[in-house]
Amino acid sequence: MDNKRPISELMEATMSKLRETIDTRTIVGDPIVTPDGITLIPVSRITLGFGAGGSEFAQKASNADKNFGGGSGAGIKIVPVAFIVIKEGVVRIMTIEAPAYSTMDRVVDSAPTILDQVSAMMKKKGE
């Protein structure tokens, strides 16, 4: 008798599909060579979510192996973050800045500018 539970099979199937989807080429892409000899290699950030759950409903001992309810799922978010640029033997990383997504992101992004402005105001006030 097989000791596997239906939820285990669901999880294994979902993880198998994830393995097929994600490999190192997903994070560091294939090189792109431009007509003028510059090589660009895309670099991405991957965020992954996975969940599974299930239950077995045994109303009678004779039907216990027939009852099951469950599911599993996964989500992947791929965001480009940089390019590795190779030109005439020189390697550089060119980052791609993503826009701020929330108010807190905007506050954190603008903090250095705000601090500089406050510092300048305090300096003027002290003079």
pLDDT of residue 1: 38
Helices (H), 22-127: 24-27, 103-126
Share of the chain above pLDDT 70, in %: 82
Stretch 102-125: mean pLDDT: 75
Residues 35-93: tens digit of each pLDDT? 999 999 999 888 888 787 777 776 666 666 677 778 877 788 888 889 999 999 899 99
Tell me, yes or no, if the pTM score tops 0.85. no
Helix (H) or strand (E) holding 87: strand 69-87
Average pLDDT (98-121) is 73
Closest by CA position to 22, among listed 74, 73, 79, 76: 76
- Cα separation, 48 vs 27, in Å, equals 12
Single-letter code of the amino acid located at 103: T
For residues 1 and 69, which has the higher predicted lDDT (pLDDT)?
A: 69
Rounded Cα distance between 127 and 121, Å, is: 10
Query: Does the pLDDT at position 110 exceed 50?
Result: yes
Of 82, 106, 89, nearest in space to 37 by CA: 89
Q: What is the mean pLDDT of the chain?
A: 78
Q: What is the DSSP string of 26-56?
A: HHB---EE-TTS-EEEEEEEEEEEEEEEEE-
The pLDDT value given to residue 99? 63
Q: Give me the pLDDT at residue 40, please.
A: 93
